[in-house]
Structure 1
Amino acid sequence: MKTLKGPGLFLAQFVGGTAPFDSLDGLAGWAAGCGYIGLQVPTGDLRLMDVERAATSRDYAQELAGRLAAHGTCFTELSAHLQGQLVAVHPAYDTLFDGFAPAHLHGRPAARQQWAVDQLRKTLSAAANLNLPAIAAFSGALAWPFVYPWPQRPAGLIEAAFDELAARWRPILDHAEDVGVDICFEIHPGEDLHDGVSYEMFLERVGNHPRARMLYDPSHYVLQGLDYLANIDIYHERIGMFHVKDAEFNPTGRQGVYGGYQSWVDRAGRFRSLGDGQVDFKAVFSKLTQYGFGGWAVVEWECALKHPEDGAREGAAFVREHIIRVTDRAFDDFAGAGTDAARNRQILGLGREQ
């Protein structure tokens, strides 16, 4: 068993236009003041880091690490969620997802995809220069518009979508192998990899690639009605990252999983700040500890009600209280009998004269 590291904080939801949220140093100092010791940093914002420079210059990457260390923090992982989304975009979402790419790529889906692949490769190389074991990413989605089969899907449609998704990701995964860094796909509605079955479909098509791992976030499973504890039992060997995020699902006679097109605050399923939702985090931390997960417990704040700064401050304390420092001895060691092989045979009655 291993003791989880933390608390860490995913910075994506906190980057803003005013200090201290508009720079890496400002965010690191603020997060440290909230009680965080690790930061998961998105690579798409130049205010936080220049990923191209970090990919090619170990000195620059280590300079970034030193700047975090000056605030008592460190990198937990790098995030390329938005770039991963752009690896595979169904045309129905082209206009909406253009916002994830530079303006000169808007309306140019093929060029946008090439840029995203290049960004992922650079994020992997930057992670290697930072001595980080993994990056986080979305898988993107070609099949998501067809998640509910009406009208009935043509035979082979989903298989073709996953064949193409795997073909796009395989070279990126091979680069991940070359630099020794995992890609942890966040299992997330809106992505083709949105549950265990879809992850397995992808994994089969990339030859069970050792670098294709999971980012475990129980909140996304609560909102799907998926057993988030059994998920750890099934996939613990593939879980490489952990987002600590809460959620609640309260279906009514008027709406359920799909939410009736309502805003987040009015949906039956909604994300909540830590401790305000329904996730049994004592059980989650216990299972991850039981299976030897030694990575970071990273808070991802998303809440329909609470202010983000309050959610962040409370989240650091919440994670610290839930991390289990693993035992170095069995609880009944005090009653050890000090037996050896010969005595064991004697206790069992073996070797006695009949």
Structure 2
Amino acid sequence: MKTIKGPGLFLAQFAGDEAPFNDWPSICRWAADAGYAGVQVPSWETRFLDLDRAAESKDYCDEFLGVARENGVEVPEMTCHLQGQLVAVHPAYDVAFDGFAAPSVHNNPSERQKWAVDQVEKTLRAAANMGHRAVGTFSGALAWPYMYPWPQRPAGLVEMAFDELAKRWTPLLNLADELGLDVCYEIHPGEDLHDGVTFEMFLDRVNQHPRAKMLYDPSHYILQCLDYLDNIDIYADRIGMFHVKDAEFNPTGRQGVYGGYQSWVNRAGRFRSPGDGHVDFGAVFSKFAAMDFDGWAVVEWECALKHPEDGAREGAAFVKDHIIRVTPHAFDDFADAGTDDEANARMLGLKP
């Protein structure tokens, strides 16, 4: 068994124009002061990272990592969620998702898609230059507008969407393999990979690619009423990254999973700071310890109620309290009788 690393903090929700959230040394120091041992870096956040330089220069990456260490944290992982989202976009979302891309490719879906692929490639190369083992991302979505089967979906529609999704991601998975990296898709509503079944549909189309992994985030399973503990057992060999994010689901006679177009505060299902929702993190961390997960427990703060700085500080302590330092011994070793094959045979009645 292995002791999970952490606590880590995903920086995407904290980047801003005001100190200490507006530059790399300051946010690292702030995270360390809040109790974190590491930070997970969003590769689109130019306040912290020059992705072009990171993809090309190991010296730049070494300097980047050095600044983090000088300010008290490691940088174990990177993600490219926003760029991965743009690898596959249904036209219904063109306007909404243009804001994720460089202005030069706005209102031009084909060029935006090329830009996104280039960004994912650069993130992979940067991660390799930093000595990482995995990159987190979204899969993007072509079939999501048809998630609910009304009107009836035409035969072959979903299959065509997943065939195309696999076609777009296979070269990126192959590049990741060359670089020694896993691509960890966050299983997330709004993505074509939004539950275990859709992840398996994708795996079938990428020939069970060994680099296609999951970023496990139980909050997204709570809101789908999916068994988030059984999910760990099923996909233990495919889970490569872990977000510690909580959620609660409180259906009423007026509202359920779909939320009724309400704001996050007024939805039956909403994200909460770690420990404030319905996820049994004691059970989650136990399963990760038992399955030899060799990664980080990374807090992703998203809460409809709590201030982010309070959530971050409490999240660090929460993860520290839940990390299980695994035992090197069996608890009943004190009663070891020191038997051998001959003694075992006698115990079984196989020898006089």
TM interval, shorter chain, is: over 0.9
Count of paired positions: 352
Which segments of structure 1 move beyond 3 Å, counting only runs of 4 or more? none
| Structure 2 Cα separation of the partners of residues 199 and 116 of structure 1 | 21
| Structure 2 Cα separation of the partners of residues 174 and 168 of structure 1 | 11
Give the CA deviation at 1:322: 0.1
Aligned partner of residue 145 in structure 1, secondary structure: helix
Equivalent AA in structure 2 for residue 33 of structure 1: D
- The alignment yields a C-alpha RMSD, in angstroms, of 0.6
| Structure 2 Cα separation of the partners of residues 154 and 219 of structure 1 | 32
| Structure 2 Cα separation of the partners of residues 45 and 290 of structure 1 | 35
Aligned partner of residue 237 in structure 2, secondary structure: coil
Aligned partner of residue 192 in structure 1, secondary structure: coil
Show the counterpart of 1:264.
264
Unaligned runs of 5+ residues in structure 2 are none
Equivalent AA in structure 2 for residue 159 of structure 1: E
Give the CA deviation at 1:71: 1.3
| Structure 2 Cα separation of the partners of residues 346 and 139 of structure 1 | 58
| Structure 2 Cα separation of the partners of residues 111 and 212 of structure 1 | 25
Show the counterpart of 1:191.
191
| Structure 2 Cα separation of the partners of residues 351 and 37 of structure 1 | 56
Check whether the contact 2:12–2:45 (CA below 8 A) recurs between aligned residues: no
| Structure 2 Cα separation of the partners of residues 344 and 311 of structure 1 | 55
- 1:117 paired to 2:117: yes
Q: Could you give the per-residue CA deviations for residues 138-197 of structure 1, whole angstroms, max 9, x where no partner exists?
A: 000000000001100000000000000000000010100111111100000000000000
Give the CA deviation at 1:341: 1.4
Give the CA deviation at 1:346: 2.2
Aligned partner of residue 124 in structure 1, secondary structure: helix
Show the counterpart of 2:46.
46
- Counterparts of 1:1-354 in structure 2, within 5 Å, are 1-352=1-352
| Structure 2 Cα separation of the partners of residues 255 and 344 of structure 1 | 61
Equivalent AA in structure 2 for residue 223 of structure 1: L
Unaligned runs of 5+ residues in structure 1 are none
TM-score calculated relative to the size of structure 2: 0.99
Q: Could you give the per-residue CA deviations for residues 19-70 of structure 1, whole angstroms, max 9, x where no partner exists?
A: 1000111110000000001100001122111111111110100110101000
Give the CA deviation at 1:350: 2.0
Give the CA deviation at 1:347: 2.4
| Structure 2 Cα separation of the partners of residues 198 and 348 of structure 1 | 48
Equivalent AA in structure 1 for residue 311 of structure 2: G
Give the CA deviation at 1:349: 2.5
Equivalent AA in structure 1 for residue 261 of structure 2: Y
Q: Could you give the per-residue CA deviations for residues 215-255 of structure 1, whole angstroms, max 9, x where no partner exists?
A: 00000000000000000010010000000000000000000
Equivalent AA in structure 2 for residue 215 of structure 1: L
| Structure 2 Cα separation of the partners of residues 182 and 104 of structure 1 | 30
Equivalent AA in structure 2 for residue 40 of structure 1: Q
Further displaced range: 294-303 or 339-348: 339-348
Give the CA deviation at 1:344: 1.7
| Structure 2 Cα separation of the partners of residues 260 and 231 of structure 1 | 27
Equivalent AA in structure 2 for residue 313 of structure 1: R
Further displaced range: 210-219 or 338-347: 338-347
Give the CA deviation at 1:288: 1.0
